[in-house]
């Protein structure tokens, strides 16, 4: 299975035609064209505008996964649920009340969301990530990685050898643990983004809205 991952919401951009704002969202498209939205940024209008500019029809989203419930990742959820009210919504185990009927609460163990697409499970009691499995191993996508980057890599390792990592890494500082990865895309809240880019010039690439990665 092959995937295309496109960052559609970030506080930086690789395309000046796109809007920027503090937050994160990514669109994952599989080989059949099925589209999953991971996180929804801080606001629905900007999310919709960026998706449209990047060639994505928000009405075609087939599932939504929230990494966690902080405003900069869940702020556009109401807008998306208005557009696609009946798609599966996967939320971390910390969810309490106020969720749409039918929301799927993900426990601590990895959960298959679609063919070769998995949730890491809710880690640290608060956040889940995405694992895409392919011929090269596991490609991991995080929202903010509040439970720590190693926790997400360890969860992915139960499914396949992690080779790529994208998303917010927050305050992660033990950069030695990134040495084994072939691809790094530090996004959003990564506090040591420039340090990672300098440390791993062969594997680390700048992230921002408009970034597309083939997995």
Proportion of the chain above pLDDT 70, given as a percent: 98
Map residue 179 onto helix, strand or coil.
Answer: coil
Residue 97's pLDDT band, with cuts at 50, 70 and 90, is low
Distance in angstroms (rounded) separating the CA atoms of residues 117 and 4:
12
Contact 83, 89 (CB under 8 A): no
Q: What is the pLDDT of residue 90?
A: 97
Average pLDDT across the chain, whole number: 96
As for how many domains the chain has, the answer is: 1
Distance in angstroms (rounded) separating the CA atoms of residues 187 and 206:
8
Residue 126 is part of which domain span? Answer: 3-214
pLDDT tens, residue by residue, 27-61: 999 999 999 999 999 999 999 999 999 999 999 99
Distance in angstroms (rounded) separating the CA atoms of residues 17 and 20:
10
* CATH (domain of 55): 3.60.15.10
Residues 6+ apart with CB under 8 A from 82: none
pLDDT tens, residue by residue, 61-83: 999 999 999 999 999 999 999 99
């Amino acid at each position: 299975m092959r995937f295309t991952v496109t960052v559609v919401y970030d506080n930086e951009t690789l395309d000046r035609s796109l809007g920027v704002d503090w937050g994160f969202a990514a669109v994952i498209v599989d080989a059949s064209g099925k589209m999953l939205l991971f996180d929804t940024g801080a606001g629905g209008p900007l999310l919709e505008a960026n998706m449209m500019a990047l060639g994505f029809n928000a009405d075609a989203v087939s599932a939504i996964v929230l990494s966690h419930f902080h405003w900069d990742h869940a702020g556009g959820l109401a807008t998306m649920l208005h557009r696609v009210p009946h798609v599966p919504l996967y939320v971390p185990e910390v969810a309490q009340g106020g969720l749409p009927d039918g929301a799927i609460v993900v426990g601590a163990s990895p959960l298959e969301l679609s063919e070769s697409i998995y949730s890491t499970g809710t880690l640290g009691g608060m956040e889940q990530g995405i694992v895409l499995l392919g011929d090269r191993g596991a490609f991991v996508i995080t929202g903010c990685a509040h439970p720590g980057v190693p926790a997400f890599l360890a969860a992915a390792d139960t499914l396949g050898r992690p080779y790529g990592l994208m998303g917010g890494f927050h305050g992660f500082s033990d950069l030695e643990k990134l040495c084994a990865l072939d691809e790094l895309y530090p996004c959003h809240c990564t506090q040591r983004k420039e340090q990672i880019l300098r440390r791993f010039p062969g594997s680390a690439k700048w992230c921002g809205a408009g970034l597309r990665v083939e997995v």
